[in-house]
Amino acid sequence: MSPPTNSDMPETLTIRNAIDVTGNKQQRVNLTTGNGLISRLEIVSDSTADSPGDTSVADDTLTIDGSGLYLCPGFIDSYARLRDPGFEKKGTIASEVRAAACNGITTVLCSPDTDPVIDESATVELINRKARDSGGARVLPIAALTRSLEGELLSELATLKAAGCIAASNADHALVDLQVIRRCMEYARTFDIVLIFHPADRWLTANGVAHEGATAARIGLPMIPVAAETVALAMLIELAWQTGARVHFSRITSRRGVDMIRQARAGGLRITADTSINHLVYDDTMLSSFDSQFRSVAPFRDSDDRRALREGIVDGTIDSICTDHAPHERDAKLAPFPSAEPGISGFDTLLGLLLKLVSEADIPMTTLIKALTANPARVFDLKQGHLQEGAPADLILFDTEASHTVETMKFLSAGQNSPLNGQELKGRIVHTIINGCLA
Amino acid sequence: MSSDPLQYNAEGKLRHFLSLDTLQRDTLINILDTAENFTSVNDKAIKKAPLLRGKTVANIFFENSTRTRTTFELAAKRLSADVLNVNLVTSSTTKGESLLDTLRNLEAMQCDMFIVRHGDSGAAHFIASHVADHISVINGGDGQHSHPTQGMLDMFTIRRCKGSFDNLVVVIIGDILHSRVARSDIAALRILGTREIRVAAPRTLLPADVESLGVSVFHRVEDALDGADVVIGLRLQNERMQGATIPSSDEFYYTYGLTPERLRIAKPDAIVMHPGPTNRGVEIEAGVADGQQSVILHQVTYGIAVRMAVMAITMSNTTDATNRQTESGDAAATVGNQTGNP
């Protein structure tokens, strides 16, 4: 699973004078890595800030001047589609893990809806080998919760966990048989496996493609009511009570959904949740011009729902932010809105949208960084995601001021499907370090 | 909402006709006035105006339609255009890839205007944003979104019968949720300043937030009809029973059907409209559909003039529009004078 240590790379690496954005107070730090870990982390006092000429470093140490750059652990993306195996015309593991790494994402939880689906350890091994050979972000496959994602038979979850799966999920395929869901939860609990559910009732979703609200009412798009999410949530929360399973809700979209999760947690239930970066930025008014780039499996709801998601990030009800990365070939979006394939290519614009949330939604940068590092690490028991001595040296250095015009043609992801083409975004990943090596 | 860069060109003139809700009032009035002039063409022995002479209009229908397609065809022919009917209902052309391929092929055949009907909401927008600059796209109905020429012929019918809109109470009865005609009518009525737009339907046939469209909602059709000047019935599709939106056509008729008794609740001079084809005994009684207050067949007739107007106006605003208008007759001069938007 770990990327190879490039033999050309020095064994230690030093970052000097970067701004640590993980704590409540931003401060300048020097950081040194060794053996893939953070070996030393020290706060730079004002008196030493401008004199980085420390001569004690060894010859094989690469030193990076971090002046003016922000430092934090590499992002952990709790839900992304890599499309490989099976849908290589949309993206390959090679293309997507390189894109992830260059955009600051050092760990990717990849969805099991590949072809074949991730329901056998051979598929896990295939993905792990491809990821290793690609040398980008580390890939943590999510196991298919049921065989072929069909919602009837349990996958070999213990075997899949041993092969390296980090969690299990039925991806975007709704589970409808409550007995099957209950058994999934009980079985997963036996082996302490986190289950990821995207709550969406199949019947209430039906052929809907847009949030049931004023925009869809006006332009006549088939609608998905909020109840599609909350009915499924209520059902899953009750079964989580019943079984004691570790349940992570992925891509929450609505205010009522956030409220239900907040309430269940207040009652002591061990559940966690994420939403996507897209849901924090967009609302349903974006659909007015029928731009198929805004078609998403989890619909963008109204501005009040979006506000609730932002509040959920700030108060911790929503633990993490995923990209919901869904690369597509060009033709997949060349269709009228309801017939276009859903999903947005999210890797290449993650940082830009995070900084947009800092400036436009007034969410503290530290909070957003946590939702992409320490929080998903806690949810999925990862050692990554922390800026402290002894933690894995998965790190990023970024610039928050550099402004650029998004050109989807230049995306590193094979998926150029983004509604942001031509828009101005701020921020640039300057360095990504994975396992102590520059990516 | 005030600017719509897809439907209006850089000079603010209408070049595609896709949906009504983002159009300006002057544009709608211009269409109605132009259509008024074309009705005289239609009344002549030789029903031809040369505005689209040498142009090729392609009727591209991905959904079945007899009335809309034939009135578009008549409208195009009365403007002296060549008409190509492309029926794609039976083919498997629903994927975007082949949809675009189809369009490219028609472009290569030097078509100048596409009339498109498609089952996906937004299909006409999609096509308009991908066609060559010299082509005008007219929406002949897309999914549940819009049927703007039907909306305009309804407005034309109302204006002919009632004069102006500002004192009118208009009631739309039936399946608002799935109806592109209802959305187009509501948008046009709102833009034209109608005093009150009412919808009457069970909750299962109304979209969420329907009030945000600027209508008042009634669940009892009798209440909705009280004081109405215009009553518009909508076709109830049979497949609605499968979706559990209503129990049966009999129950719909019992609760919302437009009967002579209910029509008496409306103003005595109220007109009855329907986009057709009617389901007699489901949403409307035969005696009402054929009665004195019915203007359903007038709608069909006016549909030709309105579609001629829309075609003539958009065609004169495409990038290669020449001074063709100046060489033609009286109706042409009218179009030439009125195509400008402020």
Per-residue pLDDT of chain A (439 residues; tens, 9 = 90+): 444 444 455 579 999 999 999 988 889 999 999 999 999 999 997 655 554 545 455 566 799 999 999 999 999 999 999 999 999 999 999 999 999 999 999 999 999 999 999 999 999 999 999 999 999 999 999 999 999 999 999 999 999 999 999 999 999 999 999 999 999 999 999 999 999 999 999 999 999 999 999 999 999 999 999 999 999 999 999 999 999 999 999 999 999 999 999 999 999 999 999 999 999 999 999 999 999 999 999 999 999 999 999 999 999 999 999 999 999 999 999 999 999 999 999 999 999 999 999 999 999 999 999 999 999 999 999 999 999 999 999 999 999 999 999 999 999 999 999 999 999 999 999 999 999 999 8
pLDDT tens readout for residues A18-63: 999 998 888 999 999 999 999 999 999 765 555 454 545 556 679 9
* Residue B321 C-alpha, separation from nearest chain A C-alpha, in angstroms: 26
Query: Terminus-to-terminus CA distance in chain B, angstroms?
Result: 16
* Residue B190 C-alpha, separation from nearest chain A C-alpha, in angstroms: 13
CB within 8 Å: A225 and B207: no
Nearest CA in chain A to B205: A217
Band (pLDDT 50/70/90 cuts) for residue B86 is confident
pLDDT at A1: 42
Across the interface, of B95, B145, B209, the residue whose CB is closest to A213 is B209
Q: Is the pLDDT of residue B181 over 80?
A: yes
CB within 8 Å: B121 and A336: yes
Give the dihedral of Cα atoms B161, B167, B173, B178; nearest 10 deg: 100
Name the residue ranges covered by the structural domains of chain B. 25-147+300-331, 148-299
* Residue B148 C-alpha, separation from nearest chain A C-alpha, in angstroms: 12
pLDDT at B66: 85
pTM, full prediction: 0.91
From residue B333, alpha-carbon distances to A178, B72, B320, B336 in Å are: 69, 22, 18, 5
Residues B81 and B57: beta-carbon distance below 8 Å: yes
CA separation for the pair A74, A212 (Å, rounded): 36
The CATH architecture to which A6-71+392-438 belongs is: Roll (2.30)
CB within 8 Å: B130 and A334: yes
Packing angle, helices B67-78 and B25-43, rounded to 10: 80
* Amino acid, res. B182: A
Please return the burial class of A286, using the count of CB atoms within 10 Å of its CB with bins 0-12, 13-18 and 19+: middle
Classify A313 as helix, strand or coil. helix
Q: Is B329 on the interface with A (CB under 8 A)?
A: no
The CATH T-level fold of domain B25-147+300-331 is Rossmann fold (3.40.50)
Please return the burial class of B3, using the count of CB atoms within 10 Å of its CB with bins 0-12, 13-18 and 19+: exposed
CA separation for the pair A337, A335 (Å, rounded): 6
Contact residues for A47 (Cβ-Cβ < 8 A; gap 6+): none
* Amino acid, res. A361: A
B residues 129-148 lying closer than 8 A (beta carbon) to A: 130, 142-146
Band (pLDDT 50/70/90 cuts) for residue B142 is very high
The helix (H) or strand (E) run that includes residue A262 is helix A255-266
| A133 a catalytic residue | no
Q: Is B99 on the interface with A (CB under 8 A)?
A: yes
Name the residue ranges covered by the structural domains of chain A. 6-71+392-438, 74-379
- Confirm or reject CATH 3.30.70.20 for domain A74-379, answering yes or no: no
Q: Show the tokens assigned to A269.
A: 């239930």
Q: Is the pLDDT of residue B320 over 80?
A: no
DSSP β-bridge partners for residue A432: A396
Q: Which of A284, A324, A348, A394 is catalytic?
A: A324
Classify A209 as helix, strand or coil. coil
Q: Is A294 on the interface with B (CB under 8 A)?
A: no
CA separation for the pair B73, B69 (Å, rounded): 6
Packing angle, helices B296-315 and B25-43, rounded to 10: 110
CB within 8 Å: A222 and B130: no
Residues A149 and A112: beta-carbon distance below 8 Å: yes
The CATH T-level fold of domain B148-299 is Rossmann fold (3.40.50)
Across the interface, of B21, B125, B208, the residue whose CB is closest to A212 is B208
The ipTM assigned to this model is 0.86
